Structure 1
Amino acid sequence: GYARSTRTAAQAHEERVGVCRDFAHLAITLCRCMNIPARYVNGYLGDIGVPADPAPMDFSAWLEVFLDGKWYTFDPRHNTPRIGRIVIARGRDATDVPLLHSFGPHRLSLFKVWTHEQEGNLFNPPYHGIDRTVSAQMLA
């Protein structure tokens, strides 16, 4: 798909195209229609444990869903468990946590992010309960 900042969740569903933000918004909307708490997450998605993508790493978006007392990570764009996610922010939707607030012209010259898997359990996430990424196939 392609990015369009004005695309709504309903339009992403109808058009069947979009980017990670659109699919996250659609999944959040569906969860909330069923009274399941869900929140939007943006950050970087590393390529640990999956074939390297020839395109440079970019920002990504996914969602977290509160089920049975725990927050679980879902990624409707990639729909596969992944490690190496780097969370930048969490909010109700993308307007809560934009990657950039800007007035006037701006230009991003370059950014690079590297993710490397470490041996052992060197880091415990500060958000207790966010303990695994789940794919749709795992729930079936």
Structure 2
Amino acid sequence: MKLRIGYELDYDFPQPTPMILMLHVHFSRVSELDEPDHMRLDPPVRVSAYRDGFGNWCSRLVAPQGRVRISADAVINDSGLPETIRHDAGQVPVELLPEECLVFLLASRFCDSDRLLDLAWQLFGHVLPGAPRVQAICDFVHQRIAFDYNDASVTRTASEAYREGRGVCRDYAHLAIAFCRAMNIPARYCTCYLGDVGTPPPFPPGDFAASFEAYLSGGWEMFDPRNNVPRVGRVLIARGRDAADVAITTTFGPNTLVGFRVWTDEVIEA
């Protein structure tokens, strides 16, 4: 299956403004692109690039004063199959974890697992360690949080999401990650493209999606507490400790986002 993926972000800047963008398809899937996801800027602006500490590809620029459009449009190959989870995957003892996993056991800006430690063990301590425990966490979070775009908050932590019982996909991911870390399961936040392939209409407006990966025996496994069902066509963009590490745009000055469009659509081939 082929997917057309892309975005258009329209900003209004009252003055020249530095930006960091994290919008390219993750390096682990670049080889599956039929058309590169080149970033386009209108008006044209010089862009430099670097890799952050988690291996994500980042773009750096200074947006000029006035209206600026940032966009990309590409085609990527996908299996077309629903995601699979190894339900028999076990939990890896902390002392046997690879060193690169250890940072994903620690509390972070939005995944304040230290505040949820006792609650996590009360809720999930009786569940079989490994994939069953992570799935139990996803089931709980899926039921605990009511999804509403109007409830989005850029400052809400995992513990606040638990108390308030509302939020958007990043809040589902943050709470599940925090519970996993409290249970000694490494978990990392993922920003992705995710369309509606294989789901019934009506379809919501396109957007980027948050999910997370948990480290179990055999490696990292993707989980999605927001949807909590296997999905088709998830395309990874970036990974980090939480949303602060993988913001799609970070601006260093005043601005107004005046237009936002994201697409992840199946390409129907004749």
**Short-chain TM bin:** 0.7 to 0.9
In 1, distance between residues paired with 2:194 and 2:183?
A: 28
Cα deviation, residue 26, structure 1: 0.5
Q: Which runs of 5+ in 1 are unaligned?
A: 120-140
Structure 1 equivalent of residue 217 of structure 2: 68
Structure 1 runs (4+) deviating above 4 angstroms are none
- Alpha-carbon contact 1:44-1:60 (below 8 Å) kept: yes
In 2, distance between residues paired with 1:27 and 1:112?
A: 25
- Alpha-carbon contact 1:48-1:117 (below 8 Å) kept: no
- Alpha-carbon contact 2:192-2:208 (below 8 Å) kept: yes
Structure 2 equivalent of residue 127 of structure 1: none
The one-character-per-residue Cα deviations of 1:4-63 (angstroms, maximum 9, x if unpaired) are 111110111111111110110000000101111110001221111111343211111010
Identity, in percent, stands at 50
Q: Which has the larger radius of gyration?
A: 2
What code does the residue aligned with 2:257 have? Answer: R
1:83 match: secondary structure: coil
Say whether 1:56 aligns with 2:208: no
Aligned length: 119
- Alpha-carbon contact 1:44-1:57 (below 8 Å) kept: no
Say whether 1:111 aligns with 2:111: no
Q: Which runs of 5+ in 2 are unaligned?
A: 1-147
Structure showing the higher helix proportion among its residues: 2
TM-score, normalised by the number of residues in structure 2: 0.41
CA RMSD of aligned residues (A): 1.9
1:42-53 aligned at under 5 Å gives the runs 42-53=191-202
The one-character-per-residue Cα deviations of 1:42-96 (angstroms, maximum 9, x if unpaired) are 1221111111343211111010111112211111111110011121111111001
More relative contact order, 1 or 2 (CA 8 Å, 6+ apart): 2
TM-score, normalised by the number of residues in structure 1: 0.77
Label 1:78 to 1:96 Cα distance change in 2 as closer, same or farther (>3 A): same
